[in-house]
Amino acid sequence: MCGIAGILSPDPAGISRQRLKEMTDAIAHRGPDGEGFWINPSGEVGLGHRRLAIIDLSPAAAQPMHYLDRYTILHNGEIYNYLELKSLLQSKGYSFTTASDTEVILAAYDHYGPECLQYFDGMFAFAIWDERERKLFAARDRFGEKPLFFYKDATQFLFASEMKALWAAGIKKDSNRKLIFNFITIGYTQNPANGFETFYNGISKLPARSYLIYMADKGELTTGLYWDIKIGESYSPGEEAAIQQFTGLLSASVHRRMRSDVPLGTSLSGGLDSSSIVATVLASAKYSANISHDQGRHPRRLQTFSAVFPGFEKDESAYIRLASNYFHLDNHMTEPRSVDLVRDLEKLVWHQEEPFLSSSIYAQYKVFGLAARHSIKVLLDGQGADELLAGYHKYYHWYWQELYRTDKKAFVLELEAARESGVDDRWTWRNRLAANLPVYAGIFLKKKRSASQRNSKELSREFVNQFGVSYYDIPHIDKLSGVLYYNTFMNGMEELLRYADRNSMAHGVEVRLPFLSHELVEFLFSLPSHFKIRDGWTKWLLRTSMESYLPEEIVWRKDKTGYEPPQRTWMQDPVLQEYIHESRRKLVRADILRPAVLHKKIQPHDAHAAENNDWRYLVTAACLATI
């Protein structure tokens, strides 16, 4: 895990070690273990790197790394199956001088070209300069765990792990008011129809599962998608076969993501997903083989890290203690408070660069900081399971609509089972409309959402008139698998992964996500919907697979907390309220809000509330001021 930055320009005057250092200094937190720079002989390509050493800690694995007197690479992330790929490439005649995964990328690219991406199981953003063909090849992992931003004008092409590195190189900071409108009204900073768009004009994001090629002599940039999955159900195994295949794929993913030359731990929220990762780690032969002992007597316990909120109704301390005692974990807890949020808000926004939907992001930030203070540099986490296994309550509606259209008897049984499980989501005429006429339902919902945005009583009329057509396009989806695909690849998961990347890198910690093995994801999308939701339970396959490994109270929890801090209480803090008032004033001066909003009382809301306007004003204004 690292920070990378590069400049390509036909004018060598635009490329210097000093300019590269300014870029990498801006992202030094991503790589506290070293730095490196390289400018090609003609002075038209400059590369900079900040290192977080995880695999092969020797100087030989430092970057920029050169290969065959032709290629030079910058790499941020990990290729988890690098050992298997290394053996494959050795069988084809390649030899290696380091134990790093970065050198494996270079050999794979030399042998397979861009098709090498099909072989990688990992999280990555890398860029390879080919001196012979004078082109840059860059790519990003399948889900967007690792970031890559770029800027292009008539005289230069720049790229970096974070936008602040581009700003350090002199690129203008110009906020994208269309996405400000999008975020304030519906809470998203993404444009589902354009994965390149960012919160700042002129700066593009390479979308997940994409590559780019920049031909230096012509100044030509091309991009493409290198991976996709089919969402049609193509595989319907029996229950036992599905459970065995799922647990096998998850175990293999965890095993690969435990490869590290530095200390490793896990997050533990007390929920099903993180507890499943803990259970799988402890069941891994790799963990048993690598376990150390205190003077040969006491096995080292797995270190886990949690955020707790004593006194809050959604505090998960009881479940965290249950898992910790059950597995004999060495659990560490942090208790984020409103005073901490006030102190850290500017720093948090600086790291995130774009707005974030709730204070849950701060709780995650504190957990990763806690891991760093205990010298943990690799942290496994359960993120991704909700989107892949239908963990959110909103997915009930999609499944019910699918059943209503195809199997009325199963629909009635599932609706009754959900009620017995405590699900209070209602089945209404809108759901029947969506089930029978999904295209028209999508149009109806989009019109309703757009009207709500345009009629906002707090946004300035000029702002609404200029940007009042939302980027949020209601998809015409008629199956559960369709909405899971949409949230995984189009709008949802990548934003959550951005939070995790910036929060972990702020503390020099590498977060690894076993649920995001592409082999596991392909398997899950091949299954019928009833493996995800069944008998009134979300994530049915995960719950059933974990029955033998986890306490029943965790496997069959009825509540879905969602890593939630007491945001409503925090927003009643007088200092934070003054921050919100000042945020309103800034947005009024920017012609985003109407002056009348200055006279309204602050409306504290829970972290996941739909109408969380004051929180959105707070972080939007902070982004405009801080970045």
CA 49/CA 35 separation, integer angstroms: 5
Consecutive H or E run containing 307: strand 303-307
Instruction: Please answer whether residues 356 and 499 qualify as being in contact, where contact means their C-beta atoms are separated by less than 8 angstroms.
Output: yes
Q: Which of 1, 2, 127, 441 is catalytic?
A: 2
Query: Is residue 116 annotated as a catalytic residue, yes or no?
Result: no
DSSP code for 3: E
Q: What CA–CA distance (Å, rounded) separates 419 from 426? A: 9
State which amino acid sits at residue 276.
S
* φ/ψ bin of 486: left (φ > 0), alpha (ψ from -120 to 50), beta (otherwise): alpha
Between CA 213 and CA 42 the distance in angstroms is: 20
Q: Is 75 exposed, middle or buried (0-12, 13-18, 19+ CB in 10 A)?
A: buried
Distance CA 303, CA 267 (A): 9
CB 370 within 8 A of CB 332: yes
- Which of helix, strand or coil describes residue 390? coil
Q: Would you give the DSSP letter of residue 89? A: H
How far apart, in whole angstroms, are the C-alpha atoms of residue 605 and residue 358? 10
Q: What are phi and psi of 320, to 5 degrees?
A: -65, -45
Q: β-pairing, 35-39 with 45-51?
A: antiparallel
Q: Residue 46 forms beta bridges with which residues? A: 7, 39
Q: Using DSSP, state whether 186 is helix, strand or coil.
A: helix
Rounded-to-integer distance, Cα 274 and Cα 233, Å: 27
Number of C-beta neighbours around residue 461 at 10 A? 12
| The Cα angle at residue 147 between residues 79 and 475, in degrees rounded to 5 | 105
> Of 432, 420, 434, 415, nearest to 475 (Cα)?
434
Distances (CA, A) of 549 to 226, 283, 552: 37, 9, 9
Q: Give kind and range of the element (H or E) at residue 158.
A: strand 157-160
CA dihedral 149, 152, 158, 160 (to 10 degrees): 0
Task: Give the residue numbers marked as catalytic.
Answer: 2
